[in-house]
Structure 1
Amino acid sequence: MLIKVLLVVSSVALSSCDVSHLEPEIITEPPPPKPYAFSYTAGRYPGHTDRQHAEVSDGSGVVRGTYSYVDPRQKVRTVDYVADRDGFHPVLSDVPPEHPADSASVAKAKDRHFELYAKIAEEHAHHPFPDETTVPRQSAAVAAAAAKHTQLFRVIAEQHARIAAEREALQREEEEKQHLQELGQ
C-alpha cells in the first residue's frame, strides 16, 4: 500500500513539474522580405481615373510608394511615402500634376478652332436675328435619312401591333380553355 501511495505521489509530482527548461528553445526567424512592385489605377466609371497607387519594395524591408486621389474639393492629392524599420514617413504634395504640352498639330488645330469661333461670334454679333438665307435647311441626304427612318418606324410599329394582337388572341384562347375546364369539372 505504501508503494502505491508513493507511486501516486511521485507521478503527481512529476506531472506538475515544469520541464520546458529541459527542452532546447527553438526560435524561428521570419523569412526575409521578398522584393516586389505593383501599381494600379482606378475610377468610379469606365474611362475615368480618380485614384492611383504604386509601390516598390527592395527586399530589405524598405518600401517606397506613391498614391494619388481626388479629394472632395476636386483637387488631386499625391502622397509619396517611405516605410522602413523606423515607421511610415508620408510626404503630402499639393502640386497638381502637369498636363502634357500640346503637339504642333494640336496647337495648330486649337488656333484654327479659336479663329473660326471668333469669326462666327463676330458674324452673330452683327446679325442677332438670322434671316431666311442664314437659317440651315435640310439637305437632300438628311431628308432621305429622315424618310428612311420614318418608313422603318412604321414597319416596326406594324410588327409590334401584329405581335400584340397574336399574343392577345393566344391569351383569349387560353382563358377559354381554362373556363371550359372549370365548367367540365
Structure 2
Amino acid sequence: MLVQVLLIISSAALSSCDVAHLEEISTEPPPPRPYAFSYTAGRYPGHADRQHAEVSDGSGVVRGTFSYVDPRHKVRTVDYVADKEGFHPVLSDVPPEHPADSESVAAAKDRHFQLYAKIAEEHAQHPFPDETSVPRQSEAVKAAAAKHAQLFRVIAEQHARIAAERELLQQEEEEKLHLQELGQEQ
C-alpha cells in the first residue's frame, strides 16, 4: 500500500515538473555505409559463364557491371549506374540485328500471304458455305448419331415419366396433409 501511495505521489510530482530547461536531443542519421561485392558463377565446376561486381559509395550511388555468355557463346557485358535519377545501363557491345530472310523464306512468306488474301477474299464474297463445301458424314458417324438420338429420346421419356410420378406423389402428400389439417380443426 505504501509503495502505491509513493508511486502516485511521484508520478504527480513528475507530471508537474518544468522541463523547459532541458535541450532537445535529436538523433543524427547514420553515416553512409559504402559496400562492394562481386561473384563469378558457372553451370559446372571450373566453368564461369557469368559475373557481377557492384560498388556503392554509401550516398545512394551504385556502380556495377555484369557479364554473361549469350546463346551464340559471345560474352555480353553491361555497365550500369543507379542513382537518384534511376537505373542507367550501358551495353558494351550492341547485340546483332535479326537475320534477314533468305530467298526461300521470303518466297514462302509471299506464297503464304497470297493464299491468305485469296481465302479472305473468297470468305468476303461467300460468308456462308454452300452445301457442297460442308463435310459429309460417313456411315459410321451417321449410325453413331442415330444411336445417340435414340438414347436421348429414351432418357427424355424416362425423365418425363419420373417427373409425372413425382408430381402425382406430391399431390397425394398435399391431400393427406390437407385432410389431417381438416381433421384437427374439428
With structure 2 as the length reference, what TM-score do the two structures score?
0.34
With structure 1 as the length reference, what TM-score do the two structures score?
0.35
